[in-house]
Amino acid sequence: MPTILTINGEQRVSSRGPMTPLVDVLRDEFFLTGAKSVCREGVCGACTVHLDGQPVVSCLVPIGTIGEREICTVESLAAAGEPSPLQQVMEEHDVVQCGMCFPGILMVLTGFLRERPHADRDEIKAALAGNVCRCTGYERLVDAAVALARA
């Protein structure tokens, strides 16, 4: 039975079974490849998307449990053709990541800074505790997020 999902403001119909992880539907069925499928155990954060504005690890969300909640992926951040303020500040700080961890980091920070817009450095670092970067590092992107929180 098809599953109706609301993804980045559009209704989409998935033909996958209800226990299919959301990350697989996003990537393989709808070609929204920003969310990465890495650990598939909920520990790396690379697959993070928003469900009704809350960051979730999409590898652990069966599509049959989503219902009418709105899914937003990293692709939605620049949907209007302009990078989001967080994306802009990352660019200004020359945050260069490989693309594996970064979409999840952007989604976690977007959700976190929406709720805590003036968070301090320690709070931002704590918010990223569930995002594993394997090859670059955190300092520069934390600098950027701190700059946005201070702006």
Q: Which residues in this chain contact ligand FES in the complex, by CB under 6 A? A: 37-40, 42-47, 57, 59, 97-98, 100-101, 133-136
Report in angstroms how near the CB of residue 80 gets to ligand FES at its nearest. 26
Report in angstroms how near the CB of residue 106 gets to ligand FES at its nearest. 12
Task: Name the residue nearer to ligand FES (CB basis): 48 or 76.
Answer: 48
Residue 87 has φ and ψ, to the nearest 5°, of -65, -40
Report in angstroms how near the CB of residue 21 gets to ligand FES at its nearest. 8
Report in angstroms how near the CB of residue 149 gets to ligand FES at its nearest. 21
Task: Name the residue nearer to ligand FES (CB basis): 19 or 135.
Answer: 135
Task: Name the residue nearer to ligand FES (CB basis): 9 or 65.
Answer: 65
Encode the chain in three state secondary structure. CCEEEEECCEEEEECCCCCCEHHHHHHHHCCCCCCCCCCCCCCCCCCEEEECCEEEEHHHCEHHHCCCCEEECHHHHHCCCCCCHHHHHHHHCCCCCCCCCHHHHHHHHHHHHHHCCCCCHHHHHHHCCCCCCCCCCCHHHHHHHHHHHHC
Task: Name the residue nearer to ligand FES (CB basis): 9 or 126.
Answer: 126
